[in-house]
Structure 1
Amino acid sequence: MIYYKNTLILLLFFFQLSFGQLAPKVAKKVYTTKPLGALAPPIIDGLLTDESWNIVDWTGDYIENLPDENTAPIEQTKFKIVYDNEFIYFAFKCYDKDPKGIVKRLSRRDGFEGDWIEINISSHNDQLTSFSFAGSAAGVKSDGFISDNGKTWDGNWNPIWYLKTNIDDEGWTAEIKIPLSQLKFSDAPDQVWGLQSTRRYFRTEERSVWQRIPLDAPGWVSEFGELRGLVGLSPQRQIEVQPFVLSKLETYPQELGNPFKTGNDFKLNGGLDAKIGVTNDLTLNLTINPDFGQVEADPSTIVLDGFQVFFDERRPFFVENKNIFNYSFADDQDNLFYSRRIGRNPNGQPNIPNGAFMSIPNNTTILGAAKFSGKTKNGWSIGILESVTNKEYAKIQQNDQTNKVLVEPLTNYLVARVQKDFNNRNSYFGTAFTATNRNLETDFLNFMHTSAYTAGIDFMHNWKNRKYYFKSNMVASKVLGSEEAITATQRNMTHLFQRTDAGHLFVDPTRTSLTGTGGKFELGKASVGNWRYKGIIIWRSPELELNDIGFLRQADEIKQSAFLSYETLKPFGHFRKITTNFEQLSYFDFEGNYNKMQYTIGADLVLKNNWSVVVSAIYKPVNYSNSILQGGPRFRYSEEFFKSINITSDTRKKLKYNFAIYDTKGKNNSFSYTEFATGITYQPVNAFTLAFTPSLSSNKNKLQYITQTSFNTDARYITANLDQNTLSASIRLDYNINPNLTIQYYGQPFISRGRYNDFNRVINPTAFFYGDRVSLFDSNQIHFNEVKNSYQIDEDANGITDYSIHNPDFAFVQFRSNLVARWEYIPGSEIFLVWSQGITSNGDASENLFTELNAQILGRKPTNTFLIKMTYRFMF
């Protein structure tokens, strides 16, 4: 309990400090625009010669933001804004005494290369969210949606807008035209929008801004200037319809006798996405038979701890307005809504008899989905998502007979999220609700929940000009299903109710539901001066379950953390900026076990030559795990010390590189992990970029968990000495013919090999010395059976095998590549030509990594996918 008392004292200390000085206020700049009226709109050619620009004045006086905040920039910038009933127009003039030195690097969309100008528009003026539009001197568009007062920037939002640039004797100019239908604003007769503009001066990596924002400000959007003069704007209730047509040919090695592996498959498909502006604030998104196959390949990984892996969402339907649906309630990945559950791989895996062949769909078909979302002028953020996924069948063929087995039921997903800003946008209160309902139909799927529901409330308050903040949330969950399903939930890696030494948990095989709770309290200082700090308490009850449509890695945990950081506000000596931080963490379970104490110290150094160095050190004097034995007793890890360093060269150079080392060791060398990673990027000309990022890691663990079995009715938890080496590399080639026609190649070979020796069983899982935690099998107790590929254990050495362990050695080999040509032939409409290759196999664990690279990747026939996709966006 002493740690709870210390945390309470720390929180009271933060509260006491909240009566200190106010966050300083910077005077807000105001730009007043005018409507075009009867004047012809400007032609978007980058020349700024249109008469319509003369009706408004220039605004400028940019101030440096980085590296030397609140000083005069090297070159000045100015802009104008006009509008009509359909568009808002921006004209930029970026002065440059050396126009030949302007860097015009081409990239794919959202590349942010070379010199660029950016405009941020907070059309709700809510001090939290903003639309971002940036144009480079080369004419490349970058855009995104800013939320959480600048803490989150989502680059997957790709609206329709228009950009042209030009270089002249005074520097470079840009013209931008943005349809009002792409923005969200109220129907007020006289509106005030938040406004900010940023310029990147590439040669010195300087950022200058129109509205000054001190580096110790509480955020980004809340500090914007104002755009006035927006009179009589009519809400643009946009209607966009985007059909697609896709043809796909897949070739792969033929499998003789397998009717499902004939050597090639062809597919012709089509679908429709639609966006309807119900009001100018709220949008209804619809999709019918969506193509969710164009997801960038997830990075390869080997999972030895049994936990699920979190992957980012990249599908456009789920990405748009995802900030509204977000409900991250504890750690960053814990969320009531994890959209990749929708359309995931089918859950059922039928056992098939010898001689039979089976085909299972890679993904669950999404019959349709609808999403109603947006933010009103009164500060209400509203999001409702409904999706239905189809039944999926595995096809099993044996002796010319084909049977179908249901492996995924018809499922309905519902997500609802509401949040309300108040107190002059300094506070908000929100709720969330999710529901998953399945029609299981057969007993084979009884391991799945029939229904799952979650609910949450969250609150945040800022005070003293956003210098201090308090935020909290609480969630509750309930899952229902058969006794089989709820028993499986109690026993899975997230919960592990079967842990033999957990006095507060036990598996009840008669239960048909589980109800749990979780939450977070956080209090901290967000601005003013060099120091930042926060204190956090998080809990997840043992029965909390979110994984039907959310993401939860582990339940039964209470976490306390304290964070303190210091950052410089002015360059000095050889440094542009230095940020240092210290963090303390404590972990408990709901039985009161003290499982972990962790101290972290780190520093991020940016040099004046634009090199950067990031260093980190983590010390864990207390380190227990409730999950490493996967249902066994609480297990002690040795005292651990982690350290890392990452060095990155000047990213402006044509040749840039980085190097990183990550290293951790347990006391008495009981375990260790070392990784070397590097990256080289070369851009010989503005249109072409080559990037190569290899990494090599070594993972050694003298007590790596393998499996569990029993001997004379007693449980046996088997571990061994693991020696694992992993080699991976990613290769990227980008060739940009022009801003709207690009060719990209991505390839990644991944090889991981693990070998085990010195097998043992756990006898004293919490012993201080790692060697006392296990009993090593001697040569009289264990021998390897090559025919069965397993280790035979004669624990009592009486000549009779007591149990066996399948050989856990592994060699996983994977290669993925994509060659994509993308042409945006008109704004919002695209043609894709795609060639993908893939190889996945289990290699020979007795060979070295480079031998397996040759044998399993270079020496095998890959699966090839050739795809043509065309979309056309209609706007009404």
Structure 2
Amino acid sequence: MKFYLFTLLLIVSISFTTYSQESTNEIIPKRVYNTKKLKEVAIIDGVISEDAWNVVEWSSDFVQKEPNEGVAPMHQTKFKVMYDDKYLYIAIRAFDDKPELIQQRLTRRDGFAGDRVNVIIDSYHDKRTAFAFTTTAAGVKGEEIVTQNGDNWDDSWNPIWYTDAKVDNKGYTVEMKIPFSQLRFGNAKEQIWGFNINRTFFRKQERSLWQRIPNSQSGFISEAGELHGLIDLVSQKQLEIQPFAVLQYDSYPKEGNNPFRDGSDFKLNAGLDAKIGITNDLTLDLTINPDFGQVEADPGAIALDGFQIFFKEQRPFFVENKNIFNFEFADGSDNIFYSRRIGRNPHKKVGNNIETDLILQDDEFADVPQNSTILGAAKFSGKTQNGWSIGVLESVTANEFAKIKETNGNTRKEIVEPLTNYFIARAQKDFNERNSFIGGIFTATNRNLEDNFSDLHKAAYTGGVDFRHTWHNRDFYLEGNTILSHVKGSEEAILDTQTSIARLFQRPDADYVDLDPTRTSLTGSGGRVEFGKQGGGNWRYNGGFIWRSPELELNDVGFLRHTDEMIQFTQVRYLWQIPKGIYRDIDLSAEQSTIYDFGGNLNKSRFALEGRVNWKNNWSSNIGMGSSTQMHRNSFLRGGPRFKVADDKFIYAFVETDKSKKFSLKLGYVRIRSEENVSDTDKYEFKINYQPFNSFSMSLENVLEKTSDKSQYVTTKDFGNLKRYILGNIENDSWTTTLRLNYSLNPNMSIQFYGQPYIARGRYSDFNYVTNSTASSINDRVRMYNENEISENNDHFSIDENLDAIADYTFKNPDFSYVQFRTNLVARWEYIPGSELFFVWARGGAGSDDARNSLSRSFRNQILDKPLESTFLIKATYRFVR
């Protein structure tokens, strides 16, 4: 550990010394394009032939961004910009002396494939935020909201605008018509906007910009050129109303006498989405009874560590403008706002076993909703001219009931999820010439609880403050945040919170926290502070500190896996940014971190070296290695004492071929080995992308992971006055294959297929129990059961430790084999801009199999040899625009 710290301090000192010897950043003058008001309207057909374009001049002289920054591109690009009272018009000529090689790859909207141009407009002129409009040589359009000065590109934004492209003997041309109602700007007599155009020359993987931005320069939006000459623009307030209707038919195997599973269901649903421009800067989004029927299924996953799994948000209402509400306060997926809590699956489980909340009697059947109904939601968001970024979200989910058919034929209702209100407010303010900001967030979750929901929080509140300050031409930064959480509920609910896996106050060695069964509230804190160098020269570095107090709780409307952590981290990087010899660029980094709990115990020390190389032939490679030592896990024994985990070493390597080719390949391998051979992991990844012709593409990704662990937690049992924390040797294999097929008839009509089988199998042997949880050797940490102490009978293991022929305790055989199969076939037609028609066929199933079977046999038994469930769905939307 001391060696690692010494090495990192040496690297940092070298970086400072080297930086002082580097020349200062090259000053690149801002380019200016002067637009004019058009005299006659241009037809947007991709052909720049009308006299209407002659009121303005061409601008050109693009400069490479990649791979050879600062030099002329292989082929030049030129453009014109003009405007009228309602629209901005842009014409682009992309020269190419081999037009037959231009990649006209058809995809659905936001596909971003093939040769293309991006128009980047900072109409706020805040030098941090922009709107990006993309048109490919095939006429496919895409759009993104760019935030964090170019670090975040969000393609969930879908404005209405018009574009087309044509290939000719000189290359290809693009025309765009962008309504001012889709942009945000102030009320000055002459607007000055940040402006840049990026061209991707696909077959050479070359990017060129109108306004040159050196690779050593931190920031992207802040370095754009400027668009002048926009005189007397009038704000165009946005008003869009989009009703929708959904027809859905489900078919599935009939389940005996269950009246709720008779083989098929038919549903009719309707709702409304609306977007209202309150001002030119701020928009109100409304949704009533939203439908998310065409959303892709979540990937399969199993968590053996007991922690919840993070799934990304895919529902359109919550995805759009998600960057405004984002508040990542620590590391990983931790966030104060996790929108998938809204409309979540009901808390109460219904079934025929004692592990469920509502136990059905014999011959009773239940119809349980999969998700809570969102009665309505409203989202007020945007960014003002003076630098305020504002977001307010309000949503209500209904009382959710399960229908239960009783043995006498009567039907009763049992509530499984209470009426819940979610409120989120987020704000940020730019200052210091847009080089800094300070912001805050507040969330509130309030439930209308009844007696049968005493285990839930009645109310949960979180608040946080964040900031970021940059200086020296944005090369250096200091950023941080701090949060506070407060949850209220019954004694039962707060006790459950204290004893949940994220906290485990009941641990016998956790003398620095207090388990209080009489509490009715809990307050915690967390935060992050970080300093770093992000631009200028070749060196980059950062370091910081993260903390999560044991009492912190965010999971009512946020996402939090761990508490009780204090993390110190450091990273140093060196960049080779000028192509030489066989490479285009290289990124080499060293990382170090340590983790302590609030009792002062060191729980992990990690060191890693990682490198990435982009080669001259457009291939890329990633390799890394490192080790973790002093590893202890407070949650490993699920309420037992802190447990020493075997130190390990890892190595990984990935290689990816040229993505501009019709066929590309990605291979990867990850290897983890622990001391004393306690655990081994091998992970293999294989992915191919193939586009045999412009309108069709496919990708196939396979991931196989094989893990062997002699100390996998199984269960906890009482043995007299003692606790037995039982572990086992698990052979855990998982396999995932993801197939995607895309066929586009034209830029507005596409057919997509998604299919994913997921198989996970765990087989246990060599059961043992913990004797000294923090001993340095695995042989001292656990004791194996001998053959006279353990016996198996009827899928249970019986333990007779005192050998008196009477079982002291039993536990269920933990072997498992889980199979999931999900497919989606979606036909999409955008019949007029902003209005769509979807035809969806979803098919799949899931089940458990005999763990003694192979992965392929389990897939055949549970998927190929069994009838699957199918859903047919038709969804129509129409967008009224003013």
Alignment TM class, shorter chain as reference: over 0.9
Structure 1 residues 14, 335: closer, same or farther in 2, change over 3 A?
farther
User: What is the rounded CA distance, in whole Å, between the counterparts of 1:590 and 1:97 in structure 2?
Assistant: 65
Contact persistence 2:150–2:219 (CA under 8 A): yes
- Give the secondary-structure state (helix, strand or coil) at the position aligned to 1:548: coil
- Give the secondary-structure state (helix, strand or coil) at the position aligned to 2:312: coil
Structure 1 residues 873, 14: closer, same or farther in 2, change over 3 A?
farther
**How far did residue 70 of structure 1 move?**
0.2
Contact persistence 1:499–1:505 (CA under 8 A): no
TM-score (norm 1): 0.97
Contact persistence 2:203–2:661 (CA under 8 A): no
- Give the secondary-structure state (helix, strand or coil) at the position aligned to 2:690: strand
**How far did residue 866 of structure 1 move?**
0.2
Q: Deviations over 1:132-161 (max 9, x none)?
A: 111111111121111111111111212111
Contact persistence 2:293–2:873 (CA under 8 A): no
In structure 2, the partner of 1:610 is 618
User: What is the rounded CA distance, in whole Å, between the counterparts of 2:8 and 2:467 in structure 1?
Assistant: 20
Matched, 1:847 2:853: yes
Residues 387-786 of structure 1 mapped to structure 2, 5 A cutoff: 387-399=395-407, 400-441=409-450, 443-786=451-794
In structure 2, the partner of 1:35 is 37
Contact persistence 1:11–1:523 (CA under 8 A): no
In structure 1, the partner of 2:813 is 807
User: What is the rounded CA distance, in whole Å, between the counterparts of 1:599 and 1:662 in structure 2?
Assistant: 16
Contact persistence 2:12–2:572 (CA under 8 A): no
Contact persistence 1:23–1:464 (CA under 8 A): no
- Select the residue among 867, 871, 876 that pairs with 1:865: 871
**How far did residue 676 of structure 1 move?**
1.1
In structure 2, the partner of 1:125 is 125
User: Which amino acid counterpart does residue 811 of structure 1 have in structure 2?
Assistant: S
Matched, 1:137 2:143: no
User: What is the rounded CA distance, in whole Å, between the counterparts of 1:576 and 1:19 in structure 2?
Assistant: 25
In structure 2, the partner of 1:792 is 798
Contact persistence 1:367–1:389 (CA under 8 A): yes
In structure 1, the partner of 2:354 is none
**How far did residue 401 of structure 1 move?**
2.3
Contact persistence 1:99–1:169 (CA under 8 A): yes
User: Which amino acid counterpart does residue 715 of structure 1 have in structure 2?
Assistant: K
User: Which amino acid counterpart does residue 551 of structure 1 have in structure 2?
Assistant: F
Contact persistence 2:468–2:477 (CA under 8 A): yes
User: Which amino acid counterpart does residue 712 of structure 1 have in structure 2?
Assistant: G
Contact persistence 2:132–2:143 (CA under 8 A): yes
Contact persistence 2:11–2:572 (CA under 8 A): no
User: Which amino acid counterpart does residue 44 of structure 1 have in structure 2?
Assistant: I
**How far did residue 5 of structure 1 move?**
11
User: What is the rounded CA distance, in whole Å, between the counterparts of 2:3 and 2:784 in structure 1?
Assistant: 37
User: Which amino acid counterpart does residue 34 of structure 2 have in structure 1?
Assistant: T
In structure 2, the partner of 1:25 is 27
Matched, 1:834 2:836: no
Contact persistence 2:621–2:655 (CA under 8 A): yes
Gaps of 5+ in 2: 350-357
**How far did residue 16 of structure 1 move?**
8.4
In structure 1, the partner of 2:355 is none
Residues 79-98 of structure 1 mapped to structure 2, 5 A cutoff: 79-98=79-98
Contact persistence 2:287–2:376 (CA under 8 A): yes
User: What is the rounded CA distance, in whole Å, between the counterparts of 2:398 and 2:20 in structure 1?
Assistant: 57
Greater shift, 720-729 or 287-296, is seen at 287-296
In structure 1, the partner of 2:256 is 256
Greater shift, 354-363 or 220-229, is seen at 354-363
Contact persistence 1:22–1:465 (CA under 8 A): no
- Give the secondary-structure state (helix, strand or coil) at the position aligned to 1:490: helix
**How far did residue 457 of structure 1 move?**
0.7
- Give the secondary-structure state (helix, strand or coil) at the position aligned to 1:255: coil
**How far did residue 295 of structure 1 move?**
2.2
User: What is the rounded CA distance, in whole Å, between the counterparts of 2:348 and 2:392 in structure 1?
Assistant: 29
**How far did residue 353 of structure 1 move?**
2.3
User: What is the rounded CA distance, in whole Å, between the counterparts of 2:43 and 2:348 in structure 1?
Assistant: 58
In structure 2, the partner of 1:148 is 148
Contact persistence 1:133–1:143 (CA under 8 A): yes
User: What is the rounded CA distance, in whole Å, between the counterparts of 1:713 and 1:143 in structure 2?
Assistant: 64
Q: Deviations over 1:235-257 (max 9, x none)?
A: 11110000000000000000111
User: What is the rounded CA distance, in whole Å, between the counterparts of 1:450 and 1:735 in structure 2?
Assistant: 49
Matched, 1:271 2:264: no
Residue correspondences, number = 871
- Give the secondary-structure state (helix, strand or coil) at the position aligned to 1:450: strand
Q: Deviations over 1:599-640 (max 9, x none)?
A: 111111111111111111121122111111111111111110
Q: Deviations over 1:661-682 (max 9, x none)?
A: 1110111110011111101222
Q: Deviations over 1:769-817 (max 9, x none)?
A: 112211111111110012xx21011122111111111110000001000
Contact persistence 1:339–1:549 (CA under 8 A): yes
**How far did residue 690 of structure 1 move?**
2.1
User: What is the rounded CA distance, in whole Å, between the counterparts of 1:351 and 1:717 in structure 2?
Assistant: 29
Structure 1 residues 595, 5: closer, same or farther in 2, change over 3 A?
same
**How far did residue 398 of structure 1 move?**
2.0
Contact persistence 2:255–2:261 (CA under 8 A): yes
Contact persistence 2:216–2:537 (CA under 8 A): yes
Structure 1 residues 12, 731: closer, same or farther in 2, change over 3 A?
closer
User: Which amino acid counterpart does residue 343 of structure 1 have in structure 2?
Assistant: G
User: What is the rounded CA distance, in whole Å, between the counterparts of 2:779 and 2:507 in structure 1?
Assistant: 22
User: What is the rounded CA distance, in whole Å, between the counterparts of 1:626 and 1:680 in structure 2?
Assistant: 40
Greater shift, 466-475 or 351-360, is seen at 351-360
**How far did residue 696 of structure 1 move?**
1.5
Contact persistence 1:451–1:479 (CA under 8 A): yes
Q: Deviations over 1:311-364 (max 9, x none)?
A: 111212112221111111111311111111101101112222233211211111
User: Which amino acid counterpart does residue 33 of structure 2 have in structure 1?
Assistant: Y
Contact persistence 1:246–1:269 (CA under 8 A): yes
RMSD: 1.9
User: What is the rounded CA distance, in whole Å, between the counterparts of 1:588 and 1:354 in structure 2?
Assistant: 51
Contact persistence 2:596–2:602 (CA under 8 A): yes
User: Which amino acid counterpart does residue 421 of structure 2 have in structure 1?
Assistant: N
User: What is the rounded CA distance, in whole Å, between the counterparts of 2:24 and 2:500 in structure 1?
Assistant: 50
TM-score (norm 2): 0.97
Contact persistence 1:11–1:535 (CA under 8 A): no
User: What is the rounded CA distance, in whole Å, between the counterparts of 1:294 and 1:445 in structure 2?
Assistant: 32
User: Which amino acid counterpart does residue 28 of structure 1 have in structure 2?
Assistant: K
In structure 2, the partner of 1:65 is 65
User: Which amino acid counterpart does residue 408 of structure 1 have in structure 2?
Assistant: E
Structure 1 residues 618, 34: closer, same or farther in 2, change over 3 A?
same
**How far did residue 167 of structure 1 move?**
1.6
User: What is the rounded CA distance, in whole Å, between the counterparts of 1:70 and 1:414 in structure 2?
Assistant: 48
User: Which amino acid counterpart does residue 188 of structure 2 have in structure 1?
Assistant: A
User: What is the rounded CA distance, in whole Å, between the counterparts of 2:505 and 2:40 in structure 1?
Assistant: 71
Q: Deviations over 1:358-391 (max 9, x none)?
A: 1211111000011111111110111111000101
**How far did residue 308 of structure 1 move?**
0.8
- Give the secondary-structure state (helix, strand or coil) at the position aligned to 2:248: strand
- Give the secondary-structure state (helix, strand or coil) at the position aligned to 2:731: strand
